[in-house]
Chain A
Amino acid sequence: MVDRVQNVTRLMEIDIEGWRVAAIGAETTICAAALEALRANGGIELNEEISPTEADILLVSWNLVPERSDGAEADALVAAAGKAAEAMSRRGKGAVIFLLTAAAAIPIRRHAEHSRLMSAAAAAMRCISMESAPHVRVNALGFGCIGESASDSGDISMLTHVPLARTGKLDEAVDAVLFMADPLNSYTTGQLLPVDGGWSAGYARSF
């Protein structure tokens, strides 16, 4: 059987010509790749001296490998995302995208601290979306196992419960970010979209 994923040679395209893009929070491979893709689609990355409140598209990046999860910065990250959304709201346009794991949707027994952080971040995302409507869209992606042996996100033990029976690729994570950044995806806000091959869709959620 042909693996259709292998046939995908390029990322999808969106039109964000001139939109200012920035990321705050953890430095992860997914966040870095997403920023690169946003730039490739016409986004202008803000340099580090410029406040992220000047961004039109802001990635709010969390540690996606559960063992590396650290709650110390969580409140500050949520506060910074809220401030940026408020500034976007004043300017009348913008998108905030939280980069979370699928533990935001379903907690993982052996990663209780990480699961708490993820679901709290998802609740914060929803609150910010309500505060900054109608002109700003605020959404989250919940990554499952991304990268070979879940190097970029998740825990490899999740894989036994993934109907697609494989980890996700970096491009698949990045394409979902582009979808949330797409200016014509203009009625989606306050949503958590898991990118996990179906891990969170059903059965056997604890291990």
Chain B
Amino acid sequence: MCKNGRYDTVPLPKLRVGDGMKCDLNGQVAIVTGAAGAIGQAIAARLADNDATVVVADIDAEGARSVASRLRNAVAATADITDMSSFASTVEKTASRFGRIDILVNNAGINSTDHRVCIDEFAPEVWDEIVRVDLDGLFKATRAALPAMVMSGNGGKVVNIASVVGMAAMRLQSPFNAAKAGVIHLTRAMALELGPKGILANAVAPGSVISEPTRRLFYGEDGAMSDRVREFMAHIGMSRPARPSEIAEAVLFLCSPHSSYINGQVLAVDGGWSTGFRM
């Protein structure tokens, strides 16, 4: 299919700076989990660009500090989403320092890259770890943040970062499929329960996302994709991975007051990967 050239794989388009959407988040306070990572820091940056105060929360203290130092209106917090009391203390510090919490972006997540095997051989301890962070941790972080968000009486936004594999399963990563599908359905449950309290919940399901370190996995020195990657990319309408900023653009919208009638939705930002069968 890709060999006959019908679907050319396309290089990443040049980054256009300064012309993204502008939302008014002035006076709003956001916590972004996993914000030392590739997608999390892009989200934190877009929120800060739009005048939100951002708490860059990550289990990786050094990474969080380094991201926060590069943003205006940002502070770093060391927080483990799997430990509710650790996360509750981040929430408490945020609320006492800034007086409110308006936005929670549940972005922290893990997956196994070296253990990719069929479910009949899948290591239970790897299963446990992935579900513990990606699903249980997301619940605990949300559970810890909600009382302060509800109490502020300003309403609020929860945006969960799921994955396209939570919608269409991929082989050899069963716990990641299951945890992300859990996140998607949990998002809907949050929307039904929290909507009446003025807190909206939505999810973004990224497809394949490239970050600086993984760029070399996709593109060789000559800027071309390997055959293996090319074959995989042929299933994606846009025939390329996303840049983290493209995920962040959708997250920004769902965090902003401009999406105030969108609730319980899962937006796949996947270049058309899950749109249909490309033959």
Determine whether the beta carbon of A201 is less than 8 Å from that of B275: no
Determine whether the beta carbon of A182 is less than 8 Å from that of B264: no
Determine whether the beta carbon of B246 is less than 8 Å from that of A193: no
CA distance in complex: A194, B200 (Å):
14
Chain A residues closer than 8 Å to B220, beta-carbon distance? none
Chain B residues closer than 8 Å to A146, beta-carbon distance? 261
Nearest residue in A to B242 (C-beta to C-beta)? A187
Determine whether the beta carbon of A182 is less than 8 Å from that of B21: yes
Chain B residues closer than 8 Å to A190, beta-carbon distance? 237, 272, 274-276
Q: Is B86 an interface residue (CB 8 A)?
A: no
Determine whether the beta carbon of A179 is less than 8 Å from that of B21: yes
Interface centre among A1, A8, A189 (most CB of B within 10 A): A189
B205 CB, min distance to chain A CBs, angstroms: 10
Q: Place the interface of chain A in its size category.
A: 35 or more
Determine whether the beta carbon of A194 is less than 8 Å from that of B262: yes
Chain B residues closer than 8 Å to A182, beta-carbon distance? 20-21, 249, 253
Name 21 A/B residue pairs within 8 A (Cβ), A-sorted. A2-B155, A4-B257, A12-B253, A13-B21, A14-B20, A178-B21, A182-B253, A184-B19, A184-B245, A184-B249, A186-B246, A186-B249, A187-B243, A187-B269, A189-B272, A198-B200, A198-B264, A201-B264, A201-B265, A202-B192, A202-B264
Q: Which A residues fall within an 8 A CB radius of B?
A: 1-5, 7-8, 10-15, 126-127, 129-130, 133-135, 144, 146, 162-165, 168-169, 172-173, 175-176, 178-179, 182-191, 193-198, 200-203
Determine whether the beta carbon of B195 is less than 8 Å from that of A189: no
Cross-chain pair count, CB within 8 angstroms = 181
B92 CB, min distance to chain A CBs, angstroms: 22
Determine whether the beta carbon of A12 is less than 8 Å from that of B22: yes
CA distance in complex: A169, B237 (Å):
33
Nearest residue in A to B198 (C-beta to C-beta)? A1
Q: Place the interface of chain B in its size category.
A: 35 or more
Determine whether the beta carbon of B22 is less than 8 Å from that of A8: no
CA distance in complex: A168, B154 (Å):
18
- Using known A-B contacts A12-B21, A184-B19, A188-B269, determine if residue A133 contacts B239 with beta carbons closer than 8 Å: yes
Chain A residues closer than 8 Å to B262, beta-carbon distance? 176, 193-196
Q: Is B38 an interface residue (CB 8 A)?
A: no
9 smallest beta-carbon distances between A and B, as pairs: A201-B264, A163-B195, A190-B275, A133-B237, A198-B263, A15-B19, A168-B261, A187-B246, A172-B261
Determine whether the beta carbon of B191 is less than 8 Å from that of A163: yes
Chain B residues closer than 8 Å to A130, beta-carbon distance? 237, 272, 275-276, 278
Determine whether the beta carbon of A185 is less than 8 Å from that of B276: no
Chain A residues closer than 8 Å to B271, beta-carbon distance? 133-134, 187, 189
* CB proximity to A under 8 Å, residues B219-251: 237-240, 242-243, 245-247, 249-250
CA distance in complex: A203, B20 (Å):
36
Nearest residue in A to B239 (C-beta to C-beta)? A134
Q: Is B99 an interface residue (CB 8 A)?
A: no
Interface centre among A15, A164, A187 (most CB of B within 10 A): A187
A186 CB, min distance to chain B CBs, angstroms: 5
Known: A4-B198, A162-B195, A184-B16. 16 other contacts (CB 8 A): A2-B155, A14-B22, A129-B275, A133-B272, A134-B240, A134-B271, A163-B195, A163-B196, A168-B261, A179-B258, A187-B246, A195-B262, A200-B265, A201-B264, A202-B188, A202-B264
